[in-house]
Structures are given as structure tokens and as C-alpha cells.
Chain A
Amino acid sequence: MKTLKQELKENIIEQLNLEDLAIEDINDDDILFGDGLGLDSIDGLELIVMLDKNYGIKLTDPKEGRAIFESIEVMAKYISENRTK
């Protein structure tokens, strides 16, 4: 059974169309935005939708997203604590 972190890595690669990356290429504590994986504000919006669609978590302020999406580790923790799906 997939762990949440594996699932997240898969979703991110698919949702954000990161064709060149495999799950093994993303470490749990890699910084996702800016200099890390290079995600930007549009990716942030995509991830907010993913949170809602897959885990039932609704964020209303895009700025909240930046803190939650810091790394796979941080994301997984937040989702485990707040998911409704």
C-alpha cells in the first residue's frame, strides 16, 4: 500500500506535468518552491485544488499554501491532520 508521501509525489509529478521527474527524484524534505524543485505560484494554485479534490481540505487564501507546500514531509503531516477524505 502506498504511503501518503508516495501518493503526494506521484500526484505532484502528474498534476504539474513534471515529465522529467520520477518519484525517486523527490526527497521528502526537498524544498518544493523557488530554488528547490522550482515550483511557482501557479503550481501553488494547482496544489490547492489537489488538496481539495483528493483530501477535502479547502484553503481560501493562496498564501496559506506556501507554508503547507514547503516539502513533501510538511505536506504529508498537514494532510494527515486535516484531511476529510
Chain B
Amino acid sequence: MKTVYINSIGSISSQKTFDNSEFLDDIISYEDNVISVVNPTYRDYISPGDSRRMSKGIKMGIVASKIALNDAGLETVDAIIIGTGMGLLKGFEKFLKALLDNNEQFLTPTSFIQSTHNTIGGQIALGLKCKGYNFTYVHDSISFESAMLDAKLMLENNEANVVLVGGVDEIGDYTAELHKLIHHIKTEKVHSAKLLKSQTEGVVYSEGANFFVLSNEIQNTSYAVIEAIKTYNTLGNININKVVSEFLKENNLDIETIDIVVLGNNGDITHDYYYNDLSAGIFNSTQQVYYKHLCGEFNTASSFGVWLASKILKTQKLPEAIKLNTIEASKYKTILLYNQYRGENHSLTLLHKC
């Protein structure tokens, strides 16, 4: 089985991450419950003719994928695999509202087409003229992990050599209001620095696109090795410490081998306990890092976590703003990421320095 590398990255997030030469040099703080991204100049990447039919999510995906491809020095790839938790909400909201408001009359197809989940992957393929394997996963907080798993399977078994993988989600305004109604999104504004102390239900909601070129061929500019990925629909009654210990054992590792654990705390008092259990449990002597105070929460926010871990492994730098505890790792070689959303769809990702 071949080794799988993250060869390049491309990110659009609530921090200025679209420039690969920087690494969270200036942290942007927010005080809100819905935050958007720091936009690159989309026109630099997408012609007006193409852009006119693209919603925010598609634009973010196209640009993040172009940044990743440029970073890897590639014109095209063998396969494109996307993860999106909610799909393209703006197109869906526009089409459904038009349908309901006009009693099914005078409906135009553009927003319907834009609402289909695999449009992102489709538009990227069109742009790259890539006729290869093209999958889209739409499964809550493991949408991105499903895409990565599939790509890893493909590369390990030499079904392809270069795969573009991405996680994308865009904000839908009405959907956000609905999620505030059921307290999945916080109803009050929260400051980034105080996110984990908010003591309230719900998250600070956001959007973003994080893309990676994965390959079974290492480059001298590679970021990381993907050692293992595992997802769990539910954990039943099993304690998270036990689940993670089992995972490490399956991969012939012990706790001490993990230099940094990247946790997906999102400030939701009803479900952050999984992360707190790990922090106080098996990882109480490990350097802990969090990131959703920087990028917000959305179904594919864990792709920002992978972006972060990749940057740490390559630059061997760790920004102050992401430290969750005061323990300092002696080296940055092996990183474990853990994420879940509302107690379901848990994922563990193991990355290693090249």
C-alpha cells in the first residue's frame, strides 16, 4: 500500500488564509454568532462570464482548489472528491422561496442547478477539463473526512496518483435563522476569545472552503502524511477516551507519540464535553490546540483543522492564538485531530510530518 501525502493546500476562511505564504500572521477576532470569510479577489481567478452563474460556495471552492493546484504546480488532477455538509444553501433557498412565493410559476433553472450538491465538484471538473472520478459526500460533520478517506483509499491502492479533496460549506441566511430558532446556532453574539467560556447552547456559524492536493508521490514541498482516518456515526455509550485509545492502538501508537491534539471545540455547552473529556483524560499531558474560534463552525470546518495541522507540520510553527492548554510539545511530528457535531459523526485523523 502506498503512502498518502498532503502535497498542497488552499484555504478560504474567516481568517486571511488564502495566501499560502502567511500563517495566521494577524488574527481576526469576531463578536457575532454568524461570521463570514475573508474573501480573496475572486475576479483574479474566475472570469465574469463563468462567475455569473456561481454562488459563494462554488466560488470559494473553485478559488481554494486553484490555490491548492498552484501550490502543487499542477494543471489538473486524476480525481476530484468534495465534502459538503449542507450543500449549496443559497441556491436551495432561492429556488424554494421562488417556488413557494410564486406558486410554482416562473421558475428559472439556475438556482435549482446551483442547489445540487455535486455542482461544486462539477464546476471544478469543468474548469480543469478533468474527466476522472468525481464524488461528493454530504454527511454532516464527516463530509470532508469521507472525501479524504475515499481519496486515501484510491491513492493507497494506486487507482490514481493525484486527487483534489476539499471541504466546502456556505451560509444560507434563512437556514441560519432556522438553526438559531432551535439553538443550534447561538442567539447571542460571542467574542472569539470567549467562545469556549460562553456557557450557552449553539455555535458561532460560518462558512469556508479548504482544499488539498493529495498524492502517493512525495514532493519536497509536501506538508504531511495522512496516516489514518476513522469515522463513527455514533459512539453508543462508549467513552471518547476509550474510543481514541482503541484507535491509537489499531495504528500501533501510544498517547506519548501524539505531539499535538487538535480539537473541534465550538463553544456549544451541550456537546463540547467530548473535547473536555479528552482534554482532562488521556490527553491531559499533551499539547492541545483548538481552531473554531478562528473559523467558526460548519459541517466541513474540520477541513480547516486539517489545514492548520498541515501548516504546523510544514512550518514547525504553532500560533499562540490556537493554544488550548499551557503544555508545549517538544516536537511537532505527529498530530491527531478529533471532531464531532452534536454528539454524532465523530472523526479521528492522524497526520505525520513528511
A residues with CB within 8 A of B: 15-20, 38, 42, 45-46, 49, 52-53
Contacts and interface: CB of A to CB of B under 8 A. Distances in A.
Contacts of A49: 106-108
Contacts of A16: 52
A45 B112 CA distance: 12
B108 A19 contact: no
Interface residues of B, number: 12
A16 B111 CA distance: 11
Contacts of B105: 53
Given A16-B52, A38-B49, A53 B113 contact: no
Contacts of A15: 108
10 contacts: A18-B48, A18-B52, A19-B48, A20-B48, A20-B49, A42-B53, A42-B109, A42-B113, A45-B109, A46-B110
Contact of B106 (A19, A42, A53): A53
Contacts of A38: 49
In the A-B complex, the 10 residue pairs with the smallest Cβ-Cβ separation, listed nearest first, are: A17-B52, A20-B48, A53-B106, A46-B108, A49-B108, A45-B109, A49-B106, A19-B48, A38-B49, A42-B109
Interface in B40-83: 48-49, 51-53
Given A19-B48, A20-B48, A52 B53 contact: no
B51 A19 contact: yes
B108 A52 contact: no
A7 B210 CA distance: 42
Given A17-B52, A19-B51, A20-B48, A52 B110 contact: no
A52 B106 contact: yes
Contacts of B106: 49, 52-53
A62 B133 CA distance: 31
Contacts of B49: 20, 38
Contacts of A53: 105-106
Interface in B4-56: 48-49, 51-53
Given A46-B109, A49-B107, 19 more contacts: A15-B108, A16-B52, A17-B53, A17-B110, A18-B52, A19-B48, A19-B51, A19-B52, A20-B49, A38-B49, A42-B53, A42-B110, A45-B108, A45-B109, A46-B108, A46-B110, A49-B106, A49-B108, A53-B105
Nearest to B52: A17
Contacts of A52: 106
Nearest to A20: B48
A67 B49 CA distance: 23
Residue from B48, B51, B106, B108 having most chain A Cβ neighbours under 10 A: B108
Nearest to A38: B49
A16 B106 CA distance: 15
Contacts of A42: 53, 109-110, 113
A52 to B, nearest CB: 6
A33 to B, nearest CB: 13
Contacts of B110: 17, 42, 46
Contacts of B107: 49
A18 B108 CA distance: 16
A76 B126 CA distance: 34
